[in-house]
Structure 1
Amino acid sequence: MRIFNGLTLGAGLLAAIISAPSYAEDAPKVAAIVKGLDNPFFQTMQKGIEEQGKASGVNVSVQAAANMGDATGQADRLTAMAMQDFDCYLVNPISVSNLVQALVPVAQKKKPIVNIDSTIDAEQAKAAGFAVSTYIGTDNVAAGALAGEEMLKLVPKGGKVALIAGIVGDVGSNARIKGFKQAVEGKLEVVVMVSADWDREKALTAATDILAAHPDLAGFFAANDIMALGVERAVQTSGKDVKVIGLDGIVDALKSIAAGELSATVAQYPYVVGAMGVEACQAAVKGKQLPANVPAPVLLINKANAEASLKNFPRPGGDYPDPLRELLK
């Protein structure tokens, strides 16, 4: 304990006071709601939101779902935030519809709504009386196609592959699977697709069953890295040489690739997506016209560039197009 201006403060509290960011009275206030922080992808997204807010003098409040399946809880958190006086709302929904009703009062207050990563269904939003101000995220079809193109380099022509999808009906998962299928159509044989709900253990179980049913399988594509890591564990247990490609670019996947386990991943940059979301809110609050769609950077990561990608994480190795940054100049 120490004495400071006549008040007795704990060292931790004093450090918090000294290190807490200060904001101008007229600093924009941004409410952000993201998916479950049980997935490191969204931990990184949160970090991007918070660090961009601190760097640009934007007062950001971040809430998250309890887990990746907590659609109702995420909506409840946004409902509470919608009752507060924020200048802009940054939303990363669990499903295309779970945040629609919670956004109605936001739209009624004519506050900008910046949609990142996973889309809000435009028709449902329209029926509820609003439209998002912009969408920032990965072109998931193109990302899936990158994974498919890499798989074509790794397995023989006509080889058999299996697909591990996320939650049934998830737009992002469907788009990634679609892109992969388009890339390998007529060149590889997709023998089975199962949904593993973005879950490592479910993917492990599914892959174990698939390997038993298809002993000549050459490869797996999983719609995210968490599932890919579960699949890779099943492959290791089987002792077979089966290629596994994921999508997201989380640290554990990059380490696995560098170690010669996972074959590849298509890296998204959730840190960048989160930071760009804050930039969009800044621009919207200033009255700037936002582009309807802002693509986020992606990169194919394999053994050749995994170490460099780890070194640069959570950012891409080089510069990338950012129209929102240009709006703020």
Structure 2
Amino acid sequence: MAFNWPRGVLALALAMAAGTAMADDKKTLAIVVKGLDNPFFEQINLGCQKWQKENPDSGYTCLYTGPASSADEAGQVQVVDDLLTRGVGAIAISPSNAPAMGNLIKRRNPDIPVMTIDADFVEADRGMRTTYLGTDNYLMGVKMAEHAARLKPEGGTVCLQLGNVAADNINARAAGFRDTIAGAKGTDRLTGQGGWTEIDGCPVFTNDQVDLANQQMADTFTANPDLDAFILIGGWAQFAPQAYAQVTDQVMDKLKSGELLIIAGDTLPPQLEALKAGRSHVQVGQRPFEMGYRAPTVMIQLIEGKAVDDPLFTGLDECTQQNADSCLAQ
């Protein structure tokens, strides 16, 4: 009789099985993402696969893994712990809970080279890794703020949608947005600076769950009919295109008139389609494919003891309704 595994348990089991099969080889280059359920991270996987295809005789294998769910912070820590125990050549981590992951690396003090990718450790723990490869997340928040100020120079009411409370990359984006709007570093909340005020009940935290992200948007629009801007610091809601379309249907008139502004992170294909359809005004995109493609080369450099710059930024793409067909880096 066949046993039907719960979807999340099965995906985690498969991910861990992949790690078990490959991680005994010290030539394994492991990339550990926040969750296998997130299409953003699948772009990192595709970059990893391209590197593997182009370097068949390198002697190294690029392993893409992580917990089944992006909300499973403890599961990600366990995946990394297991990889360190089994032994890999090097490891690149996108920490979901930065303090928890930093504590693990500090406790294990591995001889294996460790870097971060996409998301970094908190500043106090950055000595635990050699380099960070990915987005300048503070700058990403700056760019979102610049577009908000350009489109609504008088400001207005705003709600920020964040991810996990302890995700360093998301928090850096929020800081970049608030500091730029306020014109002052260390702004914890917008209370009228630059004409912008964060509404009660915001920011909202998705815990990287796309269904929750869409529900939060719908609830915010319903409870705040005069809201001026909704800022998706990450692209979560847009990763479920049908649900996002239903949510934005209720405010399409406001979006088209510019009464309500939506700025979102990331530029995956469904997100650009949403932009072209007028369901957002700006998408500030990262380059996850490039992260996955470059990470194995950086890890080999670390294994060989070569000097590597820190950080290694992969750039941003700023897409608007006017340049949506040509905005992405070639």
* TM-score between the two structures when normalised by the length of structure 2: 0.77
Shift of 1:60: 1.6
Q: Which residue of 2 aligns with 1:160?
A: 157
Instruction: Note if 1:288 corresponds to 2:306.
Output: yes
Q: Given the superposition, is the C-alpha separation of residues 191 and 30 from structure 1 closer, same or farther in structure 2, using an over 3 Å criterion? A: closer
Shift of 1:232: 6.4
Q: Provide the C-alpha distance between the structure 2 equivalents of 1:166 and 1:29, rounded to a whole number of angstroms.
A: 30
Give the stretch that moved more between structures: 300-309 or 134-143: 300-309
Q: Which residue of 1 aligns with 2:232?
A: 222
Instruction: Note if 1:188 corresponds to 2:201.
Output: no
Q: Which has the larger radius of gyration?
A: 1
Q: Given the superposition, is the C-alpha separation of residues 84 and 158 from structure 1 closer, same or farther in structure 2, using an over 3 Å criterion? A: closer
Q: Does structure 2 conserve the Cα–Cα contact (< 8 Å) formed by 1:35 and 1:94?
A: yes
Q: Does structure 2 conserve the Cα–Cα contact (< 8 Å) formed by 1:164 and 1:223?
A: yes
Q: Does structure 2 conserve the Cα–Cα contact (< 8 Å) formed by 1:222 and 1:246?
A: yes
Q: Which residue of 1 aligns with 2:20?
A: none
Q: Provide the C-alpha distance between the structure 1 equivalents of 2:226 and 2:316, rounded to a whole number of angstroms.
A: 31
Q: Provide the C-alpha distance between the structure 1 equivalents of 2:320 and 2:235, rounded to a whole number of angstroms.
A: 13
Q: Provide the C-alpha distance between the structure 2 equivalents of 1:169 and 1:85, rounded to a whole number of angstroms.
A: 27
Shift of 1:153: 2.4
Q: Provide the C-alpha distance between the structure 2 equivalents of 1:231 and 1:72, rounded to a whole number of angstroms.
A: 29
The structure in which a higher percent of residues are strand is 1
SS at match of 1:83: helix
Q: Does structure 1 conserve the Cα–Cα contact (< 8 Å) formed by 2:301 and 2:308?
A: yes
Q: Which one scores higher on RCO, CA 8 angstroms, separation ≥ 6?
A: 2
Deviation per CA, 1:246-266: give whole Å up to 9, x if none.
Answer: 112222111111222211111
Aligned pairs for 1:114-125 (under 5 A) are: 114-124=115-125
Q: Which residue of 2 aligns with 1:39?
A: 38
Q: Does structure 2 conserve the Cα–Cα contact (< 8 Å) formed by 1:204 and 1:233?
A: no
Q: Does structure 1 conserve the Cα–Cα contact (< 8 Å) formed by 2:95 and 2:167?
A: no
Q: Which residue of 1 aligns with 2:185?
A: none
Q: Does structure 1 conserve the Cα–Cα contact (< 8 Å) formed by 2:264 and 2:283?
A: yes
Q: Provide the C-alpha distance between the structure 1 equivalents of 2:245 and 2:234, rounded to a whole number of angstroms.
A: 12
Q: Given the superposition, is the C-alpha separation of residues 233 and 151 from structure 1 closer, same or farther in structure 2, using an over 3 Å criterion? A: farther
Shift of 1:190: 2.4
Q: Provide the C-alpha distance between the structure 2 equivalents of 1:233 and 1:219, rounded to a whole number of angstroms.
A: 18
Deviation per CA, 1:81-126: give whole Å up to 9, x if none.
Answer: 2233422112122110333455468744x22111111112353576
Shift of 1:66: 0.9
Amino acid in the other structure paired with 2:277: A
Amino acid in the other structure paired with 1:237: Q
Q: Does structure 1 conserve the Cα–Cα contact (< 8 Å) formed by 2:121 and 2:168?
A: no
Deviation per CA, 1:159-192: give whole Å up to 9, x if none.
Answer: 3222212222322222111211223234332232
Q: Which residue of 2 aligns with 1:5?
A: none
Q: Provide the C-alpha distance between the structure 2 equivalents of 1:268 and 1:239, rounded to a whole number of angstroms.
A: 26
* TM-score between the two structures when normalised by the length of structure 1: 0.77
Deviation per CA, 1:255-300: give whole Å up to 9, x if none.
Answer: 1112222111110001111222212112112221112211221111
Q: Does structure 1 conserve the Cα–Cα contact (< 8 Å) formed by 2:98 and 2:166?
A: no
Q: Cα RMSD between the aligned structures?
A: 2.6
Paired residue for 2:78, among 76, 79, 88?
76
Unaligned residue ranges in structure 2 (runs of 5+): 1-24, 183-192, 255-259
Instruction: Note if 1:262 corresponds to 2:280.
Output: yes
Q: Given the superposition, is the C-alpha separation of residues 202 and 105 from structure 1 closer, same or farther in structure 2, using an over 3 Å criterion? A: closer
SS at match of 1:97: helix
Amino acid in the other structure paired with 1:307: D
Amino acid in the other structure paired with 2:309: P
The runs of 4+ residues in structure 1 deviating greater than 6 Å are 229-232
